[in-house]
Amino acid sequence: MVVSSTKVIYMDNNATTRVAPEVLDIMMPYLAEYYGNPSSMHTFGGQVAQAINHARQATADLIGAAPGEIVFTSCGTESDSTAILSAIQTFPEKNHVVTTRVEHPAVKNLCDNLEIFTSRKYHTTRLQVESDGTLDLQRFKDSLTDDTAIVSVMWANNETGVIFPVEKMAEITKERGILFHTDAVQAVGKIPINLKETAIDFLSISGHKLHAPKGIGVLYVRKGTPFVPFLNGGHQEHGRRGGTENVAAIIGLGKACELAAARMAEENTRVRALRDKLEHGLLTTIPKALLNGHPEQRLPNTSNVSFEYVEGEAILLHMNQFNICASSGSACTSGSLEPSHVLRAMGVPFTAAHGSIRFSLSVYNTEAEVDFVLEKMPAIIAKLRAMSPFWEEHQ
Amino acid sequence: MWEYTDKVQEHFINPKNVGEIENADGVGNVGSIACGDALRLTIKVDENQIITDAKFKTFGCASAIASSSMLTEMLKGMKLEDAKRLTNDDIAKALGGLPKEKMHCSVMGREALEAAIADYTGAILPMAQGEVICECFGVTDLEIIRAVKENTLKSVEEITNFTKAGGGCGKCEGRLRELLAETVEGLAPPLIGIKREKRMTSLEKIKKIEEVIEREIKPTLKKDGGDIQLIDVDGDFVTVSLRGSCAGCHSSRTTLKEYVEKKLREQVLESLVVEEDR
């Protein structure tokens, strides 16, 4: 079965995004004509290195960094692993990592397995979140010890969009000589970030979350932060990440970063307004619909709504009939048998966790699409509730 | 995305026999909202022991809804004796197959049917008598052994796909492996006539812990200006947070281990370990 992109209403941008046409255009010549290796001595290769430098500058500009602080990687997951494992090797005398219970699997599973990686030397504190998905700063401060090597806390949560006070947290860790990493794959391009004014040591970016292609990521490494490479090899990225550069993707990412900077205002006004209209419409026209996550302290594009007493996969597949794309935190959609770890950490009751739907918008969404979704959703939920054995009991 | 057959899609988008039969002769309720799927099956049986009508209400994913819909279609007009012999595999086959991770949906349909027939005949359900092996989803050894036998399951992963057992915290994996070995070699206990002490499900355990904290521990701590809150229960690990004058108190560790943990072990489960949330 093939569904054309012209027909879909794509509201799953926290999963991945459309490659911007401008990004694709700028990449094509580097896949076809300019195939030289940027490390080569000849002009044919050297000109590719220049294009990469331009992309590096554009990437640095989007997050208020210096070009020398940008390391291109293959994905967000690689960036996360590089940062955390670097800190652990930097501090062999320490034994403690602090993270949260709501991290993306890229950080969560790494930290869960840290004890094994380090022959049971390291252990992890996973910070609890409040019911609105936010973090308690005092609890965070109390978790830090003299043995803490690194703190890894996401900038914004992929499921709820809730934003964590990572800038404040990094100030706190800096005072205590602890490194700070943030998985910012959902935040970069959606909210303004200026790393010059923060104490953040490491920051991860994923290209395909901001309209660049899949297979390209970035690790920001603050100048002066001790660093141990993850991929050892050639001198690429100043010896910080071996492996021949993914040239076209890097150049595409540079363009995507320029576009994101230019569209930052639109993201926080027009896209936010669309999201708010969608969310308000769902919460007011559908009974027993609940918002998951803090209403304000949140990305402008994300809305996570639970429809009580119905199951998420069933909702998604009905939406799919109308080519509406979104995600769910239900057990059945994940292939596991338990609902999302994020919603469980927030204490969302099972009646609601299984029926959670995440809508995540982008600049490519229109008001007509939002209206269409608002027109279809009440009947979908009503149909499923009519066959739910729990619905009548809770009327 | 799951690969569902056309038959599954059809029964999911336009399910047959949705609802509840008034004055039903047999009602079967299985699953729970915590587990992520539940089914209420109602049947009507005539004097010739033929199922004349069947309706369902299901909370669950597409394959759970499709399995329920297909089950009711199969049941209508079926002799009760034949219905007793219906297996989960019959339901799955009628749907043109289910993804392997979704086979438990067909198992749920069969269990609801058994429960409805038992309700009608007044018999006791044998499967629920077993020992709970998977506390997360409340699956008994008898249910697991039967699934292994009937579907010739060969791995723990397959057991999880068919019964959900082992799909939560994963702590019962060792027991599942043992059961599998015993069953395949024919060493398992006979399916009926065994009675063992029922183990608590996770939900029961959490409820009980909450109860003891609210009823006994909290009032005692409050006398000294302290307070306690239950944060999480993960298997046998209970995370609490001490508040008020307990927080930061030098003897808070003693309070935790000598009082809170002791009380919970006495009243809920001997193997509990209480830790403070930091």
A293 touches chain B (CB under 8 A): no
- Nearest-neighbour CA in chain A from B9: distance (Å): 9
Q: Which CATH class is domain A9-17+264-394?
A: alpha beta
CATH for the stretch B127-184: 1.10.10.1100
Residue A255 has pLDDT above 90, yes or no: yes
CB contact under 8 A, B36 and A143: no
B216 pLDDT higher than 90: no
Domains in chain B: boundaries? 6-121, 127-184, 202-276
Query: Per DSSP, what are the bridge partners of residue B50?
Result: B79
Residues 6+ apart with CB under 8 A from A340: A159, A329, A330, A334, A353, A356
C-alpha R_g of chain A: 22
* Residues 6 or more apart in contact with residue B205 via CB below 8 angstroms: B135, B233, B268, B269
CA neighbor of A377 nearest in space, from A291, A293, A287: A287
Query: Which chain B residue has its CA at the smallest distance from A339's CA?
Result: B36
Pairing of strands A179-183, A148-152: parallel
Query: Residue B33 is nearest to which of A125, A318, A390, comparing CB atoms?
Result: A390
Q: Give contacts of A308 with chain B, Cβ < 8 Å.
A: none
User: Which amino acid, residue A81?
Assistant: S
3-state helix, strand, coil in chain A (%, to 5): 45, 15, 40
In angstroms, the CA A70 to CA A59 distance is 8
Indicate the domain borders of chain A.
9-17+264-394, 21-259
CA distance B214 to B218: 5
Question: A21: burial class by Cβ within 10 Å (0-12, 13-18, 19+)?
Answer: exposed
- The kind and range of the H/E element at B72 are helix B62-75
- Inspect the interface and report whether the beta carbons of A389 and B40 lie closer than 8 Å: yes
Task: Answer positive or negative: Cα dihedral of A83, A89, A93, A96.
Answer: positive
CA atoms of A112 and A32, how far apart (whole Å): 42
Judge: A389–B65 Cβ closer than 8 Å, yes or no. no
Would an 8 Å CB–CB cutoff place B109 in contact with chain A?
Answer: no
Question: How high is the pLDDT of residue A44?
Answer: 95
> Do the Cβ atoms of B60 and A314 come within 8 Å?
yes
B59 neighbourhood in chain A, CB within 8 Å: 309-311, 354, 388-390
Kindly give, in sequence order, each residue whose CB lies less than 8 Å from that of residue B21, ignoring residues fewer than 6 positions away: B42, B43, B44, B53, B54, B55
Note whether A313 contacts B: Cβ–Cβ < 8 A. yes
Closest chain B CA to residue A381: B59
Instruction: Reply yes or no on domain A21-259 having CATH 3.40.640.10.
Output: yes
Report yes or no: B37 and B64 within 8 Å, Cβ to Cβ.
Answer: yes
List the single best residue of A131, A337, A392 to mutate versus B (max B Cβ within 10 A): A337
Residue B129 above 90 pLDDT?
no
Instruction: Assess whether B35 carries a catalytic annotation.
Output: yes
> Which chain B residues contact residue A338 at CB under 8 A?
36, 136, 167-168
Instruction: pLDDT band for B192, please (50, 70, 90 cuts).
Output: very low
Q: Rounded to an integer, what distance in angstroms lies between the CA atom of residue A36 and that of residue A43?
A: 9
CA distance linking residue A132 with residue A297, whole number of Å: 10
pLDDT at residue B171, rounded to an integer: 85
Q: Check if A351 contacts B (Cβ < 8 Å).
A: yes
CATH number of B6-121: 3.90.1010.10
Q: Name beta bridge partners: B41.
A: B28, B56
In sequence order, the 6+-apart residues with CB closer than 8 A to the CB of B126 are B142, B191, B192
Flag if B39 and A389 touch (Cβ within 8 Å).
yes
Q: A143–B278: do the CB atoms touch at under 8 Å? A: yes
ipTM for this model = 0.86
Q: Which of A203-217, B21-35, B38-52 has the lowest mean pLDDT?
A: B21-35
- Residue A64 near residue A262 (C-beta atoms within 8 A): no
Q: Which residues have CB under 8 Å from A34's CB, separation 6+?
A: A44, A47, A48, A51, A247
Q: Which of A217, A258, A215, A212 is nearest to A27 (CA)?
A: A212
Pick from A59, A118, A134: which is nearest to A84 by CA?
A118
Percent over 90 (pLDDT), chain A: 90
For B202-276, the fitting CATH number among 3.40.50.2300, 1.20.1070.10, 3.30.300.130, 3.10.150.10 is 3.30.300.130
Which tens digits make up the pLDDT trace of B152-190? 898 888 998 888 888 888 888 888 898 888 888 655 554
DSSP β-ladder status, A302-307 and A356-360:
antiparallel
Which of A339, A386, A388 comes nearest B36 by C-beta?
A339
* B34–chain A Cβ distance below 8 A for any pair: yes
Share of chain A above pLDDT 70, in %: 98
Residue A62 identity (one-letter amino acid): L
Distance of alpha carbon A199 from alpha carbon A25, whole angstroms? 36
CA atoms of B98 and B108, how far apart (whole Å): 13
Write the Ramachandran bin of A325: left for phi over 0, alpha for psi from -120 to 50, otherwise beta.
beta
**Residue of A67, A106, A323 lying closest to A196 (CA atoms):** A67
Q: Find the DSSP H helices in chain A.
A: 21-32, 43-62, 76-90, 105-112, 114-117, 137-143, 166-175, 247-266, 272-285, 312-321, 331-334, 341-345, 350-353, 367-386
Mean pLDDT of A87-101: 95
Q: How far apart are CA B69 and CA B237, in angstroms?
A: 40
Nearest C-alpha in A relative to B42: A389
Q: Tell me if chain A has a CB within 8 Å of the CB of B235.
A: no
Chain A CB contacts of B105 under 8 Å are: none
CB-based contact, A1 to chain B, within 8 Å: no
Residue burial B166-199, b: 16+ Cβ < 10 Å; e: rest: bbbeeebbebbeebbeebeeeebeeeeeeeeeee
* pLDDT tens digit sequence for A169-208: 999 999 999 999 999 999 999 999 999 999 999 999 999 9
Q: Which two tokens stand for residue A68?
A: 């020398």
Render pLDDT for B83-106 as a digit per residue (tens, 0 to 9).
999 999 999 999 999 998 899 999
Q: Is A2 on the interface with B (CB under 8 A)?
A: no
Q: How confident is the model at residue B276 (pLDDT cuts 50, 70, 90)?
A: confident
Catalytic-role residue among A75, A111, A325, A332: A332
Grade residue B277 by pLDDT with cuts at 50, 70 and 90.
confident
What is d(CA A268, CA A290) in angstroms, rounded to the nearest whole number? Answer: 23
How far is residue B109's CA from residue B92's CA, in Å, rounded to a whole number?
10
